[in-house]
């Protein structure tokens, strides 16, 4: 995710915005998730969307309209995933597309969300690997 395409930086900009809604270093009390996009803004108990749903006695699953209301394609996504894909969809709020383009954009957002997750995952792995290397280094 290092392209200059503004579309691909939307999640970062949204993360930046959401960061202002939390105290520094906020993370889910249950799973340690630190992505501000998926953290619930209720600070009485900081939880990610999945665990917030569980704490309210709900299944952590949201129904996602892949390509808006014109297509009747609905996917079950976890609440955290749904937050990410919705943030991407909101980027195009107010812009109208043709019906087919809307479907393709919907799929593209899903792929972008996966890419974002992978990117995040890879960065985490790298950090862990680096810290691991440091740990096994003799001095």
Partner 1 sequence: MPGLDDARYDPIEPNIASSAICSEIFVRAYAEPQLPNRRGVAPEFSPRHPRADSWFTGEFLVIDTETVRHQLTFGAYERYNHGKLIEPAIFCRDDLPTTDPDGFATLQAICRRRDVRLYLLANVFSSHIWRLRRRGGTFCFFNASYDLSRLASSWRPATAGKRRGTRFVNGFEFLRHFESAKDERGRPIVDDKGNLGTRTVEAPFVRIRRDDRHHVRYDMAAAHVLDLATLTHALTDQTYSLPLACEAFGIGFDERPGRHDGTISEDNVAGCVYDVAKTSELLFAAGREYDRHPIDLAPWRAPSAASLAKAYLRAFGVAPRSMVQPDFSKEHQGYAATAYFGGRVEDRVVREAVPCTYIDAVSMYPSVFTLLNLWSDQVIPARLEPEPLDPLEVQTFLENLQANPRCLLDRALWPHLAFFALVEPNGAHLPSRPKIPSPYLARIENGISSASHRLVSIGPLDSDVPLWFGGPDLAAAAISGPVIPRIVQAWRLRAEGVQTTLQPVNFRGEDLIDPGSCNPFQRLIELRKRDSGNKLDNDLRSTGYKTIANSGAYGCFVETTPEDINPDAPPATTRAEVWGLKPFTAVVERPERHSPLCSFPIASLVTAGARLLLATAEHLVRDAGGEVAYCDTDSLMVITRPEGGFVPCVGGPYRLGDGRRAVVALSWAQLDRILGDLAALKVYDPHIISGSSFKIEDENLDAKGNRRELWFYGTREKSYALYAVNSNGEIVLAKQSAHTIGQYRSPYPRDGERQWIAEAWIRTICEAVMQPVETPPWFELPATSQVTLTTLNLMKHYVQTSRPFDFLAVAQLAYPGMLRCCDAPRPSCLLFENLAAWLDQAWQCLGCGAAIQPHLADTELPIFKTYRRVVANLAHSFELKRLPATGEESTMGTMHGLTIPRPVRATSVEHIGKEVIVDPTDTSEDLTAEELNATEPVVYRDEVERIDVLRASVRREGINQVARAAKRVCLRTIQRFASGGNVHSPNLAAIEAALAILGAAAARRTDRDAM
User: Which residues form the interface with partner 1 (CB under 8 A)?
Assistant: 2-4, 6, 9-10, 12-13, 16-17, 20-24, 41-45, 91, 93
CB of 139 to partner 1, least distance (A): 36
Residues 6+ apart with CB under 8 A from 106: 65, 66, 67, 68, 71, 73, 89
CB of 136 to partner 1, least distance (A): 33
The H or E element that residue 109 is part of is helix 99-136
Three-state DSSP at 47 gives coil
CB of 50 to partner 1, least distance (A): 18
Nearer to partner 1, 42 or 76 (CB): 42
User: What is the residue whose two structure tokens read 């915005």?
Assistant: 17
The total number of residues written for the chain in this structure: 139
Nearer to partner 1, 36 or 81 (CB): 36
Nearer to partner 1, 17 or 128 (CB): 17
């Amino acid at each position: 995710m290092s392209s200059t395409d503004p579309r691909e930086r939307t999640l970062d900009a949204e993360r930046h915005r959401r960061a202002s809604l939390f105290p520094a270093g906020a993370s889910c009390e249950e799973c340690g998730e630190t992505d501000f996009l998926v953290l619930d803004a209720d600070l009485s108990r900081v939880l990610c969307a999945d665990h917030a749903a569980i704490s309210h006695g709900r299944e952590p699953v949201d129904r996602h309209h892949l390509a808006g209301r014109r297509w009747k394609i609905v996917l079950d996504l976890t609440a955290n995933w749904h937050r990410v894909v919705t943030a991407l969809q909101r980027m195009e709020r107010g812009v109208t597309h043709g019906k087919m383009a809307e479907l393709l954009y919907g799929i593209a957002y899903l792929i972008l969300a996966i890419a974002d997750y992978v990117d995040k995952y890879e960065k985490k792995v790298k950090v862990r690997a680096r810290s691991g290397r440091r740990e096994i280094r003799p001095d």
